[in-house]
Chain A
């Protein structure tokens, strides 16, 4: 069974600081990785996709991928109260056309 692991949190970060969210995965040949944000009672929404080793930046968000270590992370700079949500890491199963999710990390930004 292929797995995606995340620390469930909650992760508490002061407003304006950098929030760092981590994810490891078991499928060595996965090529596609995604970060979703989910507010309570809402559906997941895509923040970032990353496919190559290294960093990918989009506004205050940076995704980092290290395929050799089977590790993907999400950094949120200048954290805002509106960033308080659950962040889901998702990884493509390379053997089938499906995406596997981690259990999510709950992030709380304190004023």
Chain B
């Protein structure tokens, strides 16, 4: 009963390094999302994929790219990490329509 699985749990990068955050869900959900959470800022949407084969920008897409690899997997890539990208990143998924989000456990990223 895994739900939404994110890897890694923690990561430290130096400015300019790149990395990919992985997310997979086993609930056969159509839509997947990447949020970041900073202290006092709530959850801000980075990118989302309403269905397999589509991706769209959210509120804060700059500095990120995404890939919806298949229905299960949705990855987030930082091409050149910056200290402003230090945050906790959450992946979420949901079925289509008006259903709620199911969250992964998060990735805590620090960029020095």
Chain A residues in contact with chain B, CB under 8 A? 1, 6, 8, 31-32, 34, 42-46, 49, 51, 88, 90, 92, 96-104
In the assembled complex, 27 residue pairs joining A and B whose CB atoms fall closer than 8 Å, in A order, are: A1-B59, A32-B98, A34-B100, A42-B105, A43-B104, A44-B90, A44-B101, A44-B103, A46-B100, A46-B101, A46-B102, A49-B100, A88-B43, A90-B100, A90-B101, A97-B48, A97-B96, A98-B45, A98-B56, A98-B58, A99-B33, A99-B45, A100-B45, A101-B35, A103-B41, A103-B42, A104-B42
The closest CB in chain A to the CB of B108 belongs to A41
Chain B residues in contact with chain A, CB under 8 A? 31, 33, 35, 40-45, 48, 50, 56, 58-59, 90, 96, 98-106
Q: In the complex, which residues of chain B have a beta carbon less than 8 angstroms from the beta carbon of A32? A: 98
Q: In the complex, which residues of chain A have a beta carbon less than 8 angstroms from the beta carbon of B106? A: 43
Alpha-carbon distance A97/B33, docked complex (angstroms): 10
| Number of A-B contacts defined by CB within 8 Å | 56
Alpha-carbon distance A6/B41, docked complex (angstroms): 11
Q: In the complex, which residues of chain B have a beta carbon less than 8 angstroms from the beta carbon of A46? A: 100-102
Contact of B43 among A8, A31, A101 (CB under 8 A): A101
Q: In the complex, which residues of chain A have a beta carbon less than 8 angstroms from the beta carbon of B96? A: 97
The closest CB in chain B to the CB of A30 belongs to B98
Whether A44 contacts B43 by the Cβ 8 Å rule is yes
Say yes or no: A97-B101 contact (C-beta < 8 A), given A103-B41, A103-B42: no
Q: Which of A31, A51, A100 has the most CB of B within 10 A?
A: A100
Alpha-carbon distance A97/B41, docked complex (angstroms): 21
Whether B56 contacts A96 by the Cβ 8 Å rule is yes
Alpha-carbon distance A75/B103, docked complex (angstroms): 23
Whether B45 contacts A51 by the Cβ 8 Å rule is no
